């Protein structure tokens, strides 16, 4: 019996039932750069580098590198300021007499100033160069605030010299031009050197409240001694030394003779052994004369060699 050769049946794919449709999608095409495009990119990069190198070389040869650097820095600073790091606000603590314009001028900061690059030490030095300001502190509060803390000098006296008037502190530092009417509570000192020696004088006058109340001004004579000008127009001439002793003599005389209540033109305290009172429209009257005409001065404590 001859063997038969089995022929395999044809396999068929199952048929989908219903109305479903089979959707086929073609894959997305990924376009790779062609060799020609890559060459063009290389030439473009080379051209940019060549142009930049040429500009930099020209700047070096022409000495313009500083300008290029400054331009680049300026551009970066403007960009940083534009995003909110410029000086938009300044707060000041301790301000009493110094003006706003003096502070802002010394700070030298504005909306175009970059906070991150602001030199607070230099600003402190500029502020302390303002006469009213003794000490200053400057701090950056990011993003856009400068905080300034100042300690002002205290006005001590009004100084008049050569027709000009200033307010000064205890050390005699001139703070600002001023009218005496602007500082009625401050003593008035007049003459060369008066501003530097005012504190010493008024420390000596501190116990003599009645005398201070009657004073109009203290006049510096020859930058070596004082004459006290009273509100009545009378003058009290002090020695160039031993002022305390002279004032004690004046106090004793006031207690015994009420000399400050009398109408006098001047009281001369420059000699140790006597007080001379010059009355108005009257002759000079020496008081408490106990020695010869040639006597030591309060400053030297030694008798002069001859009459003057």
DSSP secondary structure letters along 201-213: HHHHHTT-HHHHH
| Most confident of the following: 86-90, 114-118, 230-234 | 230-234
What pLDDT, on the 0 to 100 scale, is given for residue 260? 84
CA 107 – CA 119 distance, rounded (Å): 10
Q: Where are the alpha helices (DSSP H) in the chain?
A: 35-61, 65-80, 100-107, 120-128, 194-205, 209-214, 243-257
Distance, CA of 157 to CA of 227 (rounded, Å): 16
Q: Which residues, 6+ apart, have CB-to-CB distance to 303 below 8 Å?
A: 294, 295, 296
> What are the tens digits of pLDDT across the range 19-68?
444 444 444 443 434 445 555 555 655 565 555 565 555 555 555 545 54
Tell me which fold the domain 86-152 belongs to: Ubiquitin-like (UB roll) (3.10.20)
Question: What is d(CA 284, CA 275) in angstroms, rounded to the nearest whole number?
Answer: 11
* Contacts with 249 (C-beta within 8 Å, 6 or more apart), sequence order: 269, 275, 288
How confident is the model at residue 68, as a pLDDT?
43
The whole-number pLDDT of residue 257 equals 86
For the domain 157-287, what is the CATH code?
Answer: 3.40.50
263 vs 279: CA distance, rounded Å: 7
Q: Where are the domains of the chain?
A: 47-82, 86-152, 157-287
Q: How far apart are alpha carbons 18 and 82 in whole angstroms?
A: 66
Tell me how many degrees the CA angle 48-51-54 measures, rounded to the nearest 5: 150
Q: What angle do CA 278, 279, 282 make, to 5 degrees?
A: 105
């Amino acid at each position: 019996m001859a063997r038969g050769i089995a022929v395999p049946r044809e396999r068929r794919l199952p048929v989908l039932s219903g109305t479903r449709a089979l959707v086929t999608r073609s894959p997305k095409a990924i376009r790779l750069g062609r060799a020609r495009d890559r060459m063009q990119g290389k030439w473009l990069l080379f051209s940019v580098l060549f142009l930049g190198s040429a500009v930099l070389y020209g700047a070096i040869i022409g000495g313009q590198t500083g300008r290029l650097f400054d331009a680049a820095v300026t551009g970066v600073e403007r960009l940083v300021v534009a995003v909110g790091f410029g000086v938009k606000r300044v707060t000041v603590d301790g301000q009493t007499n110094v003006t706003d314009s003096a502070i802002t001028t010394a700070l030298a900061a504005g909306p175009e100033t970059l906070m991150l690059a602001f030199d607070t030490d230099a600003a402190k030095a500029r502020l302390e160069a303002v006469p009213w300001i003794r000490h200053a502190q400057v701090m950056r509060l990011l993003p856009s605030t400068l905080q300034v803390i100042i300690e002002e000098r205290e006005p001590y006296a009004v100084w008049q010299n050569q027709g000009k008037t200033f307010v000064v502190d205890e050390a005699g530092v001139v703070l600002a031009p001023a009218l005496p009417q602007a500082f009625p509570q401050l003593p008035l000192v007049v003459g060369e050197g008066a501003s530097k020696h005012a504190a010493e004088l008024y420390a000596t006058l501190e116990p003599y409240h009645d005398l201070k109340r009657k004073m109009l001004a203290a006049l510096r004579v020859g930058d070596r001694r004082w004459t006290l000008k009273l509100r009545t127009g009378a003058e009290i001439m002090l020695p160039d030394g031993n002022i305390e002793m002279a004032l004690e003599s004046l106090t004793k005389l006031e207690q015994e003779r009420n000399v400050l209540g009398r109408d006098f033109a001047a009281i001369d305290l420059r000699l140790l052994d006597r007080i001379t009172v010059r009355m108005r429209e009257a002759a000079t009257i020496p008081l408490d004369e106990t020695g010869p005409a040639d006597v030591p001065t309060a400053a030297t404590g030694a008798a002069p060699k001859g009459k003057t």
